[in-house]
Structure 1
Amino acid sequence: MKKLMLLGGLRYLLPVIEEAHKLGVYVITADYLPDNIAHKYSDEYCNVSIIDKEAVLKAALELKIDGILSHAVDPGVVSAAYVAEQMGLPFQCSYEAACILQDKSKFRAFLAEHGFNCPKAKGYNNSEEAIKDIDYFNWPVIVKPVDSAGSKGVTKVENKADLRDAIETALQSSLSKHFVIEDFLDKVGAQSSADIFTIDGKLVYPTYSDQLFDPDAANPYTPAIEIWPASMEQKFQDNLTEQLQKLFTLLNVKSGIYNVESRVCSDGKAYIMEVSPRGGGNRIAELQDMATGQSLIRNEIRKALGMPLDDITAPKYDGVWCNYILHSNKPGTFVSVDINPDFEKKYVRDIGLIVKPGDKIVPFTGANNSLGTLFLQFKNREDVENILSQIDRYISIQLA
């Protein structure tokens, strides 16, 4: 029986564990939090810090694993790439490439060096050096931790006087205590966040979404709604696919899933914002699998274990799908999510609630503060926009 190690223990891993078990795979989940939910469903739990690549390698060797993934778990990606390389196991890319992709500062530098559309950006490990460069950037700017996901620690800064506070916010969310400052790109339409798939370095499954935000959220840069397929003009989608293929060729990637964020900006150019060699958070791969009939999750497991892959092709969506991130803009104690019965029957395809009555709820500042997700299916874009414009009529969060 093949052994698959999954780094992390979040709920996002449950469909991966379920699919692995269908394939007859023995699943080991690993992190330093034994009470995380995924450990209740795996075959074995390994207590190790997933950001300590040497410790993960030691555990992987002792457990004699056949594959490793950090699906939807951003902090473990570099360790997973390192272990795979050291043990000769399949992974999306080399350890070196993973280090570039996972560090926002290194990634921006790589894009600039190779002629990609890229905002002016620079990485730092202390506020004083950044303050000295205050006039280097075209304001406003975005300040981000180089190594966080889910919009944690990200701040748009309009006024130079507010830069120091934004840096402190970024540093608090950075494991490495490094941050990046970059020009704020004024986007046109919606940003995209979607999971794609390569086979032997070729992008065979390109796709894009509309990622929307809640302007009333505590952090208005945390994704609140995602819609597939994207409303982005086809010429920009084609250009992004070309840019991604160029990137993958330069990095000499192999087969596997990637979460990609991209956008079209007011300068008429399409920009790759982030590329991570893992499945995305917010159950993105699950929704895309449900909406297209292909299984990125199953094939990512097969890839990790050196098993044959399905014939993966560019996706076609059955209607228009929406990933609605349940969240609260105020603190309180969770009571319930009330969904209109007619709305639920007509549009809701999956309810992924991750809180229970009595849980303490905090305002929505990052993906880790969500209450769960709803997968919604519509016939067309007009229906989506009509429903979302009055979503409070159909869904309400009850707090005490």
Structure 2
Amino acid sequence: MKKVLILGGAGVHCKLVEAAHEMNLCVIVADYLKKDDSPAKQIADKNYEVDINDIDGIIQICIEESVDAVLTTHLDPCQKPYQKICEKLGFPCMGTEEQFEYLTNKRKFKMLCQESGVDIIPGYTVADVYDDRVNYPVFIKPVDSRGSRGQKKCENRRQALEAIESAQKESSDGDCIIEKYLGDEEEIQITYFFENGNAHLIRTADSYRGEGKLRNIVTHSVSPSKYTTEFRNTTNEKIIKMLKKIGIKNGPVMMQGFYDNGVFRFFDPGLRFPGVEYERIYKKMYNIDFLKLIIEYSLTGSMPQIDIDESSVYLEGKRAEIVFPLISEGIIAKIEGLDKIEQNEKVISVLHRHREKDTISWSYDINQRLCEIDMLFDKNEKLNERERILSELKVYNNKGKNMLLFYR
């Protein structure tokens, strides 16, 4: 039996473990988490508690276990270690060191976009802030951190100087990005799947965020985006040309951006899928399992040819909704309704992020999400059907008070 090692044991990788098991593979999951805190480890055949950045340690595990492939598909911090491990072991990898650098480092991504005629968000330098040459508000963030950490909207120079220090601490290279604030504009997310050099646009989504201090957190997304046709007509080919220019041939690429008065401006890329369960929705619609394709490529170095209708991004007129209910600080004493929600025929997946007895603090990032609920609706179903399904959910703290905040 062949063995694969999956880097990263978060819940979003459970579907990767499931796909490997369906292919009769032995699955090992490795990251720093204990098994009880790592959903993917709990369903794997074997697991190791090791930091994903311990490249030599993971390579030694692969040698001792006679691992045939290493892969990761959805987790941002796993991308660069994955590439380094594959390179040293001589395993097939979905990208080169240069490609991962372009698609994890936000500054290098901006430069690539500018060179390729893809619109970006206008920005400033740290020196501009110190010299007071900035039109506020601006948005300051780390170069390569994730999960909304170290990000802040700034209304003046004092706030900006504080945010620069915070963002630099979260960046692997001590740098930060300073951009014109576009948070009031509509946000769009796109995902491609490359197969032997052929680019397929498989998802567009309109993203909606929380309010106030929760503004950095996406709480809800809808696919396809209402701007899908406009994006395909104006920007899609530019991005595909840009990705082919750096040699992308196989695997997923995702990007987040804003729709700014008729202009698509992108700011956050990844040589991976977004950290959600959308691939389950796509599989249900079209019987294409992207995770099995990636596993096959990781084992053989050859990506199976696939027949994807370019109109599949429209989901045959259906509407996919992904909701992240947010919760306040406290100890979760009781969660009610999730079992009933999971049984609803419109619900494709429920991914648990927190459980009863978990202690929640005010982090104002993705740790405020209780779970992820993925739904698929027919063309003519009303929006209040989503509200009806989600109304079953109740979350109480150890004092019997409601912890559920809202979703949009």
Q: 1:363 to 1:193 in 2, by over 3 A?
A: farther
1:139 aligns to what?
136
Q: 1:221 to 1:44 in 2, by over 3 A?
A: same
Letter in 2 for 1:14: C
1:181 aligns to what?
178
Of 44-53 and 219-228, the range deviating more from structure 2: 44-53
Q: 1:61 to 1:361 in 2, by over 3 A?
A: same
- Cα deviations by residue, 1:153-200 (Å, 9 ceiling, x for unpaired): 2212122221122223324433443322122236654x2234320012
1:383 aligned onto 2:372: no
* Separation in structure 1 between the aligned mates of residue 158 and residue 304 of structure 2, nearest angstrom: 53
Q: Deviation at 1:94?
A: 1.0
- Cα deviations by residue, 1:196-255 (Å, 9 ceiling, x for unpaired): 200123212442011111225x42121111111111151223433212212211210120
Letter in 1 for 2:52: I
Q: 1:326 to 1:290 in 2, by over 3 A?
A: farther
Letter in 2 for 1:397: V
Q: 2:304 aligns with which of 309, 312, 328?
A: 309
- Contact preservation (8 Å) 1:200, 1:253: no
Q: Deviation at 1:346?
A: 6.1
- Cα deviations by residue, 1:328-384 (Å, 9 ceiling, x for unpaired): 144443411436969974643333333322222234722233211112222237713
Letter in 1 for 2:68: D
- Contact preservation (8 Å) 1:228, 1:320: yes
1:111 aligned onto 2:113: yes
- Contact preservation (8 Å) 2:118, 2:239: no
Structure 1 gap ranges (5+): none
1:293 aligned onto 2:287: yes
- Contact preservation (8 Å) 1:321, 1:377: yes
Q: TM-score, normalised by structure 1?
A: 0.86
Q: 1:257 aligns with which of 244, 252, 258?
A: 252
* Separation in structure 1 between the aligned mates of residue 25 and residue 190 of structure 2, nearest angstrom: 27
Q: SS of 1:111's equivalent?
A: helix
- Contact preservation (8 Å) 2:191, 2:255: yes
Structure 2 gap ranges (5+): 399-408
1:222 aligns to what?
217
1:45 aligns to what?
47
Of 223-232 and 292-301, the range deviating more from structure 2: 292-301
2:406 aligns to what?
none
- Contact preservation (8 Å) 2:99, 2:246: yes
Q: 1:69 to 1:123 in 2, by over 3 A?
A: farther
1:169 aligned onto 2:183: no
* Separation in structure 2 between the aligned mates of residue 231 and residue 100 of structure 1, nearest angstrom: 28
1:231 aligns to what?
226
* Separation in structure 2 between the aligned mates of residue 47 and residue 342 of structure 1, nearest angstrom: 33
1:397 aligned onto 2:392: no
Within 5 A, what are the aligned runs for 1:297-376?
Answer: 297-306=291-300, 308-309=303-304, 311-313=306-308, 314=310, 315=312, 316-317=314-315, 319-338=318-337, 345=344, 347-363=346-362, 365-376=364-375
Of 364-373 and 7-16, the range deviating more from structure 2: 364-373
* Separation in structure 1 between the aligned mates of residue 105 and residue 57 of structure 2, nearest angstrom: 21
Q: 1:81 aligns with which of 80, 83, 99?
A: 83
Q: SS of 1:208's equivalent?
A: strand
Q: 1:292 to 1:370 in 2, by over 3 A?
A: farther
Q: 1:342 to 1:275 in 2, by over 3 A?
A: closer
- Cα deviations by residue, 1:272-321 (Å, 9 ceiling, x for unpaired): 32221112213233343334432222222222222552514132525211
Q: 1:172 to 1:287 in 2, by over 3 A?
A: farther
Q: Deviation at 1:105?
A: 1.7
* Separation in structure 2 between the aligned mates of residue 288 and residue 150 of structure 1, nearest angstrom: 24
> When the two structures are aligned, how many residues end up with a matched partner?
391
- Contact preservation (8 Å) 1:194, 1:280: no
Q: TM-score, normalised by structure 2?
A: 0.84
Q: Deviation at 1:90?
A: 2.4
Q: SS of 1:263's equivalent?
A: strand
- Contact preservation (8 Å) 1:84, 1:90: yes
Q: Deviation at 1:262?
A: 2.6
* Separation in structure 2 between the aligned mates of residue 232 and residue 148 of structure 1, nearest angstrom: 28
